[in-house]
Amino acid sequence: MGPIRGNKKKRKVDTKSEENSLVSGSSEEGSSDWWDALSKTISGNPSSSKLLDRFKSTYRVSRKTFDYICLLVKDHMMAKTHFTFTNGKPMSLNDQVALALTRLGSGNSLISIGDSFGAHHSTVSQVTWRFVEAIEENGLRHLQWPSTDPEMAKIKHKFEKIRGLPNCCGVIDTTHITMQLTSSDPDADAWLDCKDNHSMILQAVVGPDLKFRSIVTGWPGKMNDASVLQSSNFFKQCQKGEKLNSSKTCFPDDTATEIPEYIVGNSGFPLLPWLMTPYQKKDLSETESDFNKRLLATHAVARRALAMLKDVWKMIQRDMWRPDKHKLPRFILACCILHNIVIDMEDELLDDVPISLYHDRGYRQDVCDSVDKIGSILRDKLCMYISGR
């Protein structure tokens, strides 16, 4: 399934269109003047601050992060058949990464992006897929479960500072990636969700820094949160004690009571010894009500992360037109890895992203009635401990 060389039939492009295209093909791979030259082409001679703002708004990352991504994907992107613009000039590594980031970050059609770059829409598709493969192959280290006790201790400390929940290791939520499928698609009905949209689910476990620590995607949007969770390897690993199995917290006044590591979910998830969810009964005590508020305030971290993911990488925010459902999970994964790379690079782009909690507008909250007995006991103990602090 390797990409083919450029585009055999070069479509005619008038001189004016060539001058206004986003990429001219004249830059050399690795050239530090690549963006400066490109900016002069599309913006004249703007100030350096305007150049930086335009770079971030165009490619969704800072120049520093862009350069890092280029190094990350270089071997994979440049090892196979090379691509060309419609004018016949070869695409440099920077050109290809810029094109792929524009596709993922804007969510615009292949044709509109191709026109702006001076490339055929098939080239846009092939370059973007090559980039997704490269990010998946070389960037997975940016999306991992904490591997050391000190790393997990920092996560727990940060979560406890939010609303006082001790030994919390993450928060979990799901979101829908909507698609437009034709009625002629034999599998279309299988992807219909509760809103009669065709969609795919993304489940994410998020750290206090908004980084994704574990994701699951590929399941139809009609599945509820509990079903997606129980179908995941993350669930199986936690049930077997392979995750969330490290240090327990002993309460200062009751050393016999221990709280194991856990993550926080909303009412759509089952209550388990390693997954704390809100109380759902009608008549809540004052301590139970306070516990729910703390839990939901902590859970908001996951909602913010998913909202940021969709706001920055708009390809998975909008309705995707007839996507390859076998490739879509890998596009979603690539966007999640890029989200983490931006955070790991301490990218100043984060300052420009609005803090939102709305990543799944229009979808009602699932309610799961599944309550594990041990989980219920641990939740009560955690609730009483927090109320007495």
Cα dihedral 45, 99, 120, 18 in deg (nearest 10): 0
The residue type found at 5 is R
- Residue 166's pLDDT is 94
- Residue 230's pLDDT is 97
- Residue 29's pLDDT is 44
Please list, in sequence order, all residues whose beta carbon lies within 8 angstroms of the beta carbon of residue 367, skipping any fewer than 6 positions away: 267, 268, 280
- Residue 26's pLDDT is 39
- Residue 253's pLDDT is 61
- Residue 35's pLDDT is 62
**In angstroms, rounded to a whole number, what is the distance separating the alpha carbons of residues 370 and 96?**
48
- Residue 6's pLDDT is 35
- Residue 81's pLDDT is 74
- Residue 36's pLDDT is 63
- Residue 80's pLDDT is 75
- What sign has the CA pseudo-torsion 85, 89, 94, 96? positive
Residues of the chain under the 50 pLDDT cut: 1-32, 41-44, 46-47
Give the pTM.
0.87
Domain ranges of the chain: 15-138, 143-387
- Residue 19's pLDDT is 33
- Residue 348's pLDDT is 64
- Residue 22's pLDDT is 42
- Residue 256's pLDDT is 58
- Residue 55's pLDDT is 75
255 phi and psi, to 5 degrees?
Answer: -65, -15
